[in-house]
């Protein structure tokens, strides 16, 4: 019996050992472990942040972000000229770009792709709201007719859903850019089967939903080929699994590490741990409508709360690499001011302000908090910390946990919440996306901050949006941030960090809010 047991054990061990080589060897390809949120491969419908991973690899856009702080830079475009009134933008397109099919990238493709995104009326279509129509001037020139001047226009053109697709092939698969595309376009199934019709350096060659993507080099790519012939993006929802797979070299990049797994990786040979601030921002909001906000609608109370919050403590909860934006423009975006100094906290001054506002003993107030967890940190954790901080100035928070889909979203959208904590991530990488926090903006109204309550500040939104001179726009953005750093119903409390792990043999791996990670900058180290 013992002999048999030993034999079985030995055979099993030998089989496992023999197969070990098979699961270790992956060649020059790079495997990325990621918890993605991708639900479609149709560029005109993609809105989920991780869709940028494959869109950036397989498609070109007119503009791109090489660095979020530098603003959008030309990619397929060679230049953009605005008319004097800012209502038309003429863009010239490079003439050497070709799709993976070998078809040249033309102005017709640009018009088709962008008008299709607009007319599909899907999640990302709002990005095209500013575009009325597009005229093809010649094979390599298009004219965008806008309904309002828009200083973030080129940033919007860098958005992943504005990917330029091979219109000849797309039309064969039922794609259309007609006004009724929302009901007549039938190309989604074709894309979702694993097709990519772009001019980027890679092509999707295999797609298993919720399992993996395989991207292989586009042989017709007109640019310089990367040293990485193949990417596999493997769905890995668990941070521990990503960490273990990275150390075993089963994956070369772990995109969603947690703070715990980062500490486990520290000191591991051949693995680098990277930390980057994201554009995801947590903020406290206080309703300006007294019937909803009660005492927190008073500007003096708002400032007292701003002073009472322990920003350094919040950064500790959220993790290394986090910071506190001074105002609504996250650090790293064009025109952002430096982060708030965490030592800004001044409990004594906060108490004085509270007394001036008529609350020398503080007050008790409901604090609904939703169950969302941006970048893996539950908002309820921040609520508990805020309750602790505000108790030091006599404010008692009654935290009420509400599910996002169980009523919180509706109340938040309708501006019915008095005092709460939420998060915001810009839809496109441009400070203009943050202007929604101003009076009369989408987020502003959720806090009862109507335009007429501060017309001067509300007007700044229009001025910044229509300011086509970049330097002048940056100046206005700075002015807006200085005005709102200690004023208004919003208190940005933290900018979340992002942790990634990467094998030391790779270079150029960086987190990017625009693309999650820009696969075009990654190379094998020489």
Partner 1 sequence: MDTLKFIVKRIIYLLILLLGVATIVFILTRLVPTDPVAANLSQRNLSDPEIVAAFRQKWGLDKPIWEQFIIYLKGLLRLDFGTSIRTSKPVLDELKRCFPATFELSLFAIIIATVFGILFGIISALKRNSWLDQLVRAISVAGVSVPTFWLALLLLYFFYYKLGIAPGTGRISKSFDAPAAVTGLYVIDSLLEGDPAKAWDCLSHLILPGCVLAAFTMGLITRTARSNLLEVISTDYIRTARAKGMANIRLILHHALGNALIPVLTVVGLGFGNLLGGTVLVETIFSWPGVGQFAYESVTKLDSPGIIGVAILIALNYGIINTIVDILYGVIDPRVRSGV
| Contacts to partner 1 by CB under 8 A | 13, 15-17, 19-20, 22-27, 29, 31, 39-40, 47, 121, 123, 126, 188, 192, 206, 208-212, 232, 234-238, 240-241, 244-245, 247-248, 250, 403-410, 413, 424, 427, 436, 442, 445-446
Cα-flanking dihedrals φ and ψ of residue 421, to 5°?
A: -125, 135
Buried b (16+ CB within 10 A) or exposed e, 261-300: bbebbeeeeebebbbebbbbbbbbbbbbbeebbbbbbbbb
Taking Cα atoms as reference points, which of 375, 372, 371, 352 lies closest to residue 362?
352
Residue (164 or 433) nearer to partner 1, CB: 433
Shortest reach from residue 244's CB to partner 1, in Å: 4
Q: How far is the CB of 366 from partner 1 (least distance, A)?
A: 19
What is the secondary structure of 369-403 as a DSSP string?
A: EE---GGG--HHHHHHHHHHHHHTTTEEEEEEEE-
Residue 341 burial (C-beta neighbours within 10 Å; 0-12, 13-18, 19+): exposed
Q: Which is nearer to partner 1, 408 or 419 (CB)?
A: 408
Nearer to partner 1, 236 or 331 (CB): 236
Beta carbon nearer to partner 1, 23 or 266 = 23
d(CA 336, CA 323): 13
Provide the minimum distance between the beta carbon of 144 and partner 1 in the complex, in angstroms, as a whole number.
21
Q: Report d(CA 351, CA 521) in Å as an integer.
A: 50
Task: Give me the least distance between CB of 347 and partner 1, in Å please.
Answer: 33
442 neighbors 285 (Cβ within 8 angstroms): no
- Least separation, in Å, of the C-beta of 1 and partner 1? 11
Alpha carbons within 13 angstroms on the beta-carbon side of residue 151 total 24
State the nearest-atom distance from the C-beta of 274 to partner 1, in Å.
Answer: 21
Q: Which is nearer to partner 1, 97 or 265 (CB)?
A: 265
Nearer residue to partner 1 within complex by CB, 209 or 358? 209
Rounded least distance, CB 376 to partner 1, Å: 14
Report the alpha-carbon distance of residue 291 to residue 159 in Å, rounded.
40
Q: Report whether 245 contacts 236 (CB < 8 A).
A: yes
**224: which residues sit within 8 A by CB, 6+ positions away?**
none
Neighbours of 247 (CB within 10 A): 17
| Shorter beta-carbon distance to partner 1: residue 106 or 161 | 161
Return the structure tokens found at 445: 């109204």
Q: Which tokens hold the place of 524?
A: 């094998």
User: CA-to-CA distance for 278 and 425, rounded, in angstroms?
Assistant: 9
Query: Hey, which residues does 370 pair with through a beta bridge?
Result: 402
What's the closest the beta carbon of residue 435 comes to partner 1, in angstroms?
A: 12
| Cβ distance to partner 1 smaller for residue 73 or 148 | 148
What's the rounded Cα separation, in Å, for the pair 81 and 69? Answer: 22
Q: Considering beta carbons, is residue 238 or 523 the nearer one to partner 1?
A: 238
Q: Are 350 and 393 in contact (CB under 8 A)?
A: yes
Instruction: List the structure tokens of 318.
Output: 């959220």
CB 295, min distance to partner 1, A: 27
Nearer to partner 1, 181 or 393 (CB): 181
**In the complex, what is the shortest distance from the CB of residue 141 to partner 1, in angstroms, rounded to a whole number?**
31
Provide, rounded to whole angstroms, the least separation between the CB of residue 232 and partner 1.
6
Considering the complex, state which of residue 67 and residue 425 has its C-beta at the smaller distance from partner 1.
425
Please state the closest distance from residue 445 (CB atom) to partner 1, in A.
8
Beta-strand runs (E) in 148-270: 202-208, 212-217, 230-235, 253-257
Considering the complex, state which of residue 271 and residue 365 has its C-beta at the smaller distance from partner 1. Answer: 271
Between 299-308 and 347-356, two packed helices, what is the crossing angle to 10 degrees?
A: 160
Report, in Å, the least distance between residue 74 CB and partner 1.
Answer: 27
Report the nearest approach of partner 1 to the CB of residue 47 (Å). Answer: 6
Contact, 251 vs 242, CB < 8 A? yes
Q: Which is nearer to partner 1, 9 or 316 (CB)?
A: 9
Q: Which residues contact 440 (CB under 8 A, 6 or more apart)?
A: 449, 450, 451, 458, 461
DSSP secondary structure of 217-233: E-TT-SSPPPS--EEEE
Residue nearer to partner 1 on the CB measure, 105 or 417: 417
């Amino acid at each position: 019996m013992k002999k048999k047991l030993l034999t079985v054990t030995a055979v099993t061990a030998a089989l496992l050992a023999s197969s070990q080589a098979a699961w270790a060897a992956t060649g020059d390809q790079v495997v990325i472990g990621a918890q993605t949120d991708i639900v479609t491969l149709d560029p005109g419908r993609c809105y989920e942040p991780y869709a940028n991973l494959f869109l950036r690899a397989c498609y070109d856009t007119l503009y791109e972000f090489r660095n979020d702080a530098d603003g959008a830079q030309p990619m397929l475009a060679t230049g953009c000229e605005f008319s004097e009134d800012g209502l038309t933008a003429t863009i010239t397109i490079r003439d050497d770009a070709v799709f993976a099919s070998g078809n040249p990238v033309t102005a017709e493709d640009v018009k088709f792709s962008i008008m299709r995104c607009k007319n599909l009326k899907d999640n990302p279509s709002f990005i095209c709201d500013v575009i009325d129509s597009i005229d093809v001037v010649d094979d390599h020139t298009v004219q965008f007719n806008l309904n309002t001047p828009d200083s973030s226009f080129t940033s919007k053109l860098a958005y992943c859903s504005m990917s330029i697709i091979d219109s000849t092939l797309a039309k064969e698969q039922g794609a259309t850019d007609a006004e009724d595309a929302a009901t007549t376009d039938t190309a989604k199934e074709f894309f979702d089967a694993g097709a990519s019709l772009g001019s980027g350096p890679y092509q999707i060659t295999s797609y298993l939903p919720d399992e993996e993507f395989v991207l292989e080099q586009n042989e017709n790519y007109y640019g310089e080929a990367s040293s990485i012939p193949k990417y596999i993006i493997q769905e890995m929802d668990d941070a521990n699994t990503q960490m273990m797979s990275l150390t075993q070299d089963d994956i070369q990049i772990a995109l969603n590490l947690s703070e715990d797994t980062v500490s486990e990786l520290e000191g591991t040979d051949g693995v680098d741990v990277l930390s980057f601030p994201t554009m995801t921002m947590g903020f406290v909001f206080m309703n300006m409508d007294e019937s909803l906000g009660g005492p927190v609608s008073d500007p003096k109370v708002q400032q007292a709360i701003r002073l009472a919050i322990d920003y350094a403590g919040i950064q500790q909860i959220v993790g290394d690499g986090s910071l506190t934006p001074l105002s609504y423009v996250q650090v790293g975006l064009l025109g952002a001011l430096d982060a708030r100094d965490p030592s800004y906290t001044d409990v004594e001054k906060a108490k004085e302000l509270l007394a001036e506002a008529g609350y020398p003993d503080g007050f008790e107030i409901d604090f609904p908090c939703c169950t969302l967890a941006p970048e893996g940190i539950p908002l309820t954790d921040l609520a508990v910390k805020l309750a602790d901080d505000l108790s030091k100035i006599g404010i008692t928070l009654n935290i009420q946990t509400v599910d996002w889909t169980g009523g919180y979203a509706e109340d938040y959208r309708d501006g019915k919440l008095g005092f709460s904590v939420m998060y915001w991530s810009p839809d496109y990488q441009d400070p203009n996306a943050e202007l929604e926090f101003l009076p009369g903006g989408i987020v502003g109204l959720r806090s009862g901050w109507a335009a007429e309550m501060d017309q001067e500040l509300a007007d700044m939104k229009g001025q910044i949006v229509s300011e086509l001179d970049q330097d002048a726009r940056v100046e206005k953005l700075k002015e807006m941030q200085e005005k709102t750093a200690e004023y208004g119903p919003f208190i940005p409390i933290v900018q979340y960090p992002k942790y990634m792990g990467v094998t030391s043999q790779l270079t150029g791996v960086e987190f990017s809010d625009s693309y999650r990670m820009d696969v075009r900058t990654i190379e094998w180290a020489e």
